[in-house]
């Protein structure tokens, strides 16, 4: 299986509900480094996994919707804890929708899997991986 990863970052604010979160129940900020790994079993006719320029551009566009936002105020996240794990799935789903809409061009059509990893620090991160 071939894989290619692109990286960006996003800055958000949020708070959590539940005693398990301790002081993170209060409003706080986070800067996530976001890695998206695209996978396919064979290279395309140009010996590529995916167009890295389109992949980077698409990730940037997906992240722009939440960048510099207080996630507590985003309607679609009401009643949810926007944990690192939860947001990895959100970004995965949005990237998958972009791939389905052909935003990665011809190279996107051969992708079979993808993973999204959000690094919340140098010692902790969470991922979501799935088939396309």
pLDDT given for residue 122 in this prediction: 95
When the candidates are 3.30.479.10, 3.40.1740.10, 1.10.540.10, 2.160.10.10, the CATH number that belongs to 81-131 is: 3.30.479.10
Collect all residues with Cβ–Cβ distance below 8 Å to 7 and sequence separation of at least 6: 33, 34, 35, 36
pLDDT given for residue 45 in this prediction: 94
Per the DSSP assignment, residues forming a β-bridge with 32 are 10
Q: What is the pTM of this model?
A: 0.96
**CA 74, CA 90: separation in Å to the nearest integer?**
13
Provide the pLDDT confidence category of residue 130 given band limits of 50, 70 and 90.
very high
How does pLDDT run across 73-127, given as a tens digit for each residue?
A: 999 999 999 999 999 999 999 999 999 999 999 999 999 999 999 999 999 999 9
pLDDT given for residue 55 in this prediction: 98
Tell me the pLDDT of the chain averaged across its residues: 97
Q: What percent of the chain has pLDDT over 90?
A: 100
Contact (CB, 8 A) for 67 and 28? no
**CA 93, CA 89: separation in Å to the nearest integer?**
6
Rounded to 5 degrees, φ, ψ at 83 are -65, 170
């Amino acid at each position: 299986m071939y894989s290619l990863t692109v990286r960006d970052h996003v800055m958000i604010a949020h708070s959590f509900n539940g005693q398990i979160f301790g002081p993170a129940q209060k409003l706080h900020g986070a800067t996530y480094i976001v890695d998206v790994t695209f996978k396919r079993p064979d290279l395309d006719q140009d010996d590529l996994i995916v167009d890295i320029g389109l992949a980077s551009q698409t990730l940037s566009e997906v992240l722009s919707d939440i960048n510099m936002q207080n996630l507590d105020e985003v309607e679609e996240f009401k009643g949810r804890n926007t944990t690192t794990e939860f947001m990895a799935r959100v970004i995965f789903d949005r990237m998958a929708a972009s791939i389905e809409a052909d935003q990665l061009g011809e190279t996107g059509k051969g992708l079979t899997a993808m993973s999204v990893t959000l690094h919340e620090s140098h010692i902790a991160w969470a991922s979501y991986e799935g088939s396309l």
